Structure 1
């Protein structure tokens, strides 16, 4: 019997007992459906996290600060540090809000830049915005965040501020579009935004910038401006009006751009070198890595339940094929009497098991894709409407193919016992079987 005839015969034999086959396929379907859906959940959320990471900062940029002491890490009382500076306001727009860290100076920046693997170091200039205003409209409190090298903000309209431009440019968050008086995101692009900051003696200074785009909400601050370097410098200068120049080189952190291309091992080596020098470096991926670890853990647990379902289905395959072998004993004897070898008989029954696995996995994957796509679209319009760009359940063709092949392999292993029994059958005894 030729190979193509063997496959055709196996396909035909699969449906000899339709009820038994359907029940076995349904058992496989449950496992395949669950595996495809849970893998889609992990793919969708991790893809959203990856997109968010790229919108916050590039993978080859480290945020560097002075190393945290053991006491600070544990929350114990700290001795006074006259060189400490504010690091990240917890209540944007209110002077004095936030935590403090040991300041980086120009000397620190030079030392960081000298570490092998680091190409460029740019200090993060802390800017405290009092309010923003468009025309004569209402004033709103916002935060500010400068572009990091390689950053690609997620935009609902317009473009990101040009970091190399001399013009003062900013992107406003979507949450400020309507409050500032714009009809929609596109209407805000090109408009002038007035930004107010105060110097150390509370004298207000107004800086005007052009709105180049509107950023979507994600894990980042929903009321934070994205500024280019020129605007950041202008705000920083206005905020520090009257401060002696030698008192301005105090920064909470700095962005260290690594020499490209970089690998994970090279990034780890730079982090180690920073630690040895008394600094702490972290990528955005490190900061959001916990989210991915939690999601991967949940998906792993859900996949475990799907594997249990597949193991239960494998017993169904064994039972189905054992009964098939018993019912077709005389047929097996006749095939062997006509010259079919034991290997061919084994292949025939193994193919029947693989057919069952293929049917269950394909049907499970198709139904899971349909259900997952519909559920994801519905949740995106309701529960997760505040997270634009999130496709909760996304399907990766390679993952689906891997799942299908794995289920077929389980089916093959489950069918090997009945197939081996059929292959060992004595043709004379089989022909005598009643």
Structure 2
């Protein structure tokens, strides 16, 4: 019997007992369905996180903030006129404690730091279209001067331009009276803020881009010219300047000046010695990614348990098939079919069952998961545009189908081995 004949016979024999095979396929379906969904969940979240990291710039920077120290005294903390100021405004990348000029000078003096930029955090009261209309509250993202926005339309901020520029959040476009994101590009908006003397001031800015919200880019983005103008107006005369975060640009010791892990670790150590904390963007996401991976791991465990249960179903199905076809096996071997061919025939029957269950389960997961992802994007995840919670990568789907098929094939080894070792004479006498 040729290989093609064995394949055709295996596919045909898999459905001799339709009910038994259908139940086995259904058990594989459950495992394939669950494993495809959990794989898609991991791919969707990882893709979103990687895109968020990409929006915050290159890997040669450290975001530096005051270290989180715990006071050991039982009473109130003594006032230090040269100490760090406190701010009630916190962001995903900053804490309530502010850096002072001494901190910035310390960072700048650390070996391996090429340049340090202190990031001003400004407060804007409202925004409106320069042509008039309603005014809306708006927050300014303090990291917009170092990162790249996830743009819907327009261009990134030009930090070297002397013109005041702004990147609008996507949900402000229609509110400010613009027809769509493209129509907002090049238009003027007015920003109102309160200066250090509690007087109301306005500044006009040009809309250069419209951006989606993200993990780190909540609020509008402003370029250095606009940020500096408002920050100078809000600085209290005689009071030392303070910043929520500073960006340390690193020199690299790697090939072509690339920043290595050792470079980052050395700067972090020096910062820690000066009561400062330096973090890469990956560090910021480490805890989130760990929690997500843990959840995905638990869900995947349930899928694996379902597959293990299904593998026992395959063993049972094929053992019963071997017993029912004992005389047929004896006849095939009496006509010259080798033990290897008999083994291959029954092993391939298991693989056919696995391939069928895995394929149906994966396709069902893609259909159901795509519908869930679309609904979630418009409802539960509407505040995180660009996040597709279930991302079905063809490579991952094929891998899931392949793994389940291999598991099914291995499950069929025992019954196939039993069939291959049968004595043809005894098998022909079997009643």
The TM-score bracket by the shorter chain reads 0.7 to 0.9
| Counterpart in the other structure of 1:350 | 347
- In structure 2, relative to structure 1, the CA distance for the partners of 1:242 and 1:208 (3 Å cut) is farther
* Alignment check: 8 A CA contact 1:59 1:285 kept: no
State the secondary structure of the residue aligned to 1:202.
Answer: coil
* Alignment check: 8 A CA contact 1:170 1:226 kept: yes
| Counterpart in the other structure of 1:394 | 391
Q: Structure 1 residue 180 and structure 2 residue 179: aligned?
A: no
State the secondary structure of the residue aligned to 1:290.
Answer: helix
Taking the aligned partners of 1:383 and 1:407, their CA distance within structure 2 comes to: 32
* Alignment check: 8 A CA contact 1:158 1:213 kept: yes
| Counterpart in the other structure of 2:29 | 29
Moved over 6 A (4+): none
Match of 1:319 among 308, 316, 328: 316
State the secondary structure of the residue aligned to 2:220.
Answer: strand
| Counterpart in the other structure of 1:257 | 249
* Alignment check: 8 A CA contact 1:147 1:163 kept: no
State the secondary structure of the residue aligned to 2:278.
Answer: strand
Q: Structure 1 residue 196 and structure 2 residue 195: aligned?
A: no
Gaps of 5+ in 2: none
- In structure 2, relative to structure 1, the CA distance for the partners of 1:388 and 1:417 (3 Å cut) is same
Taking the aligned partners of 1:420 and 1:75, their CA distance within structure 2 comes to: 74
Taking the aligned partners of 1:221 and 1:78, their CA distance within structure 2 comes to: 34
| Counterpart in the other structure of 2:231 | 236
1:353 deviates by 1.1
* Alignment check: 8 A CA contact 2:90 2:96 kept: no
Q: Structure 1 residue 101 and structure 2 residue 93: aligned?
A: no
TM-score by length of 1: 0.86
Q: Could you give the per-residue CA deviations for residues 284-337 of structure 1, whole angstroms, max 9, x where no partner exists?
A: 333333332222222222212111211111111011100111122122223333
Alignment of 1:320-399 (within 5 A): 320-399=317-396
Stretch of structure 1 that moved more, 162-171 or 261-270? 261-270
Residue correspondences, number: 422
| Counterpart in the other structure of 2:78 | 79
Match of 2:126 among 127, 131, 143: 131
Stretch of structure 1 that moved more, 356-365 or 187-196? 187-196
1:418 deviates by 0.6
Taking the aligned partners of 2:128 and 2:333, their CA distance within structure 1 comes to: 89
State the secondary structure of the residue aligned to 1:331.
Answer: helix
| Counterpart in the other structure of 1:426 | 423
Q: Structure 1 residue 141 and structure 2 residue 137: aligned?
A: yes
Taking the aligned partners of 2:66 and 2:44, their CA distance within structure 1 comes to: 36
- In structure 2, relative to structure 1, the CA distance for the partners of 1:60 and 1:353 (3 Å cut) is farther
Taking the aligned partners of 1:370 and 1:3, their CA distance within structure 2 comes to: 35
| Counterpart in the other structure of 1:209 | 205
Q: Could you give the per-residue CA deviations for residues 183-239 of structure 1, whole angstroms, max 9, x where no partner exists?
A: 4333322122223344432244433221112222233464x2201122222222233
Taking the aligned partners of 2:269 and 2:290, their CA distance within structure 1 comes to: 22
State the secondary structure of the residue aligned to 1:132.
Answer: strand
Taking the aligned partners of 2:419 and 2:75, their CA distance within structure 1 comes to: 73
TM-score by length of 2: 0.87
| RMSD between superposed Cα atoms in Å | 3.0
Q: Could you give the per-residue CA deviations for residues 363-385 of structure 1, whole angstroms, max 9, x where no partner exists?
A: 11111111111221122233333
Taking the aligned partners of 2:136 and 2:51, their CA distance within structure 1 comes to: 28
* Alignment check: 8 A CA contact 1:28 1:361 kept: yes
State the secondary structure of the residue aligned to 1:362.
Answer: helix
1:360 deviates by 0.8
State the secondary structure of the residue aligned to 1:206.
Answer: strand
Q: Structure 1 residue 160 and structure 2 residue 156: aligned?
A: yes
Stretch of structure 1 that moved more, 353-362 or 279-288? 279-288
Taking the aligned partners of 1:165 and 1:4, their CA distance within structure 2 comes to: 70
Taking the aligned partners of 2:145 and 2:197, their CA distance within structure 1 comes to: 33
- In structure 2, relative to structure 1, the CA distance for the partners of 1:331 and 1:48 (3 Å cut) is same
State the secondary structure of the residue aligned to 1:84.
Answer: coil
* Alignment check: 8 A CA contact 2:145 2:224 kept: no
Taking the aligned partners of 1:214 and 1:346, their CA distance within structure 2 comes to: 63
- In structure 2, relative to structure 1, the CA distance for the partners of 1:122 and 1:182 (3 Å cut) is same
1:128 deviates by 2.5
